[in-house]
Amino acid sequence: MARRYDPERRERIVAAAVRVLEHRGIGGLTHRAVAAEAQVPLGSTTYHFDGGDALLVAALERVNADWLGALERWITEVAAPARDAGAPLGDHVVALLDDWLGPRRAATELLYELYFAGLQRPALRPLAAHCLDEMVRLVEPLAGDPATARAAIALLDGMVIQQLLSGRRQSPDEVRATLGRLFPGTGSRPGPGTG
C-alpha cells in the first residue's frame, strides 16, 4: 500500500504535542499520546521525532514562538503613539501580569514547567536561553538598554514564579512601585484610597 503524502503531518504532530503537554504535563508526553491526539499512526511521531527529547524540543519551540508573539503584540500596543497617554508603563505591566496569571495562566504554567524541565533535560536549555534573549530584545526599546531590559525580564520572571508557586497575587500598587524602582519616572497611578 502506498504511503499517503501528508506535508502538514509534522506540524499537526507538534500542535498535538503542545495540547498533550497542556493537558498532561511533561510526564504525559509520549509518542503514543501524541499520535492519538494528532490522529496519526504511532510510526509517524517516531519518524519525525526520533528519540530523546526531540518531540519535547519541538513542542517547546512552538510554545516559545506563541509566547514571544504575544509579548511582541503587547509591546507594540504599549509603544504605539496612539496609546492612552495618561496610562503609565506600570499600568500596562499590571495588565500584562493579570493576563499571564488570568486568561493565559495555562500557557504561562506550561512555559515555566518547560523551563524548569531544563534543569533535568539539558536539551531544553538552549531554547529557554534563546527565549529569554528574545524577550530582552523585545523589551529593550521600552527599557532603553539591554541591561535594563534583562533586569526587567528577571523582575517579571520573579513576580510570575512567586505568584504561580504561592498563589499570592501582588497588588497593582505593589507591581507599580516595584517597577518604578527599576524604571524611575514610569509613573504610578495610585489605587483607590492610596492617593
Confidence of residue 70 (pLDDT cuts 50, 70, 90): very high
How does DSSP assign 67-133, residue by residue?
HHHHHHHHHHHHH-TTS-TTS-HHHHHHHHHHHHHTTTHHHHHHHHHHHHHTTT-GGGHHHHHHHHH
Tens-place pLDDT, residues 176-187: 888 888 777 554
* Percent helix, percent strand, percent coil in the chain, to nearest 5: 70, 0, 30
- Domain 59-182 indexed as CATH 3.40.50.720: no
- Which of 89, 22, 84, 17 has the alpha carbon at shortest distance from 53? 17
Residue 54 has pLDDT above 90, yes or no: yes
Percentage, residues of the chain above pLDDT 90: 56
pLDDT given for residue 101 in this prediction: 92
Tens-place pLDDT, residues 74-130: 999 887 765 555 567 888 889 899 999 999 898 899 889 988 998 999 999 999 999
Residue spans of the domains in the chain: they are 8-51, 59-182
Domain 8-51: give its CATH code: 1.10.10.60
pLDDT given for residue 193 in this prediction: 39
Angle at 22 between CA 167 and CA 107, to 5 degrees: 55
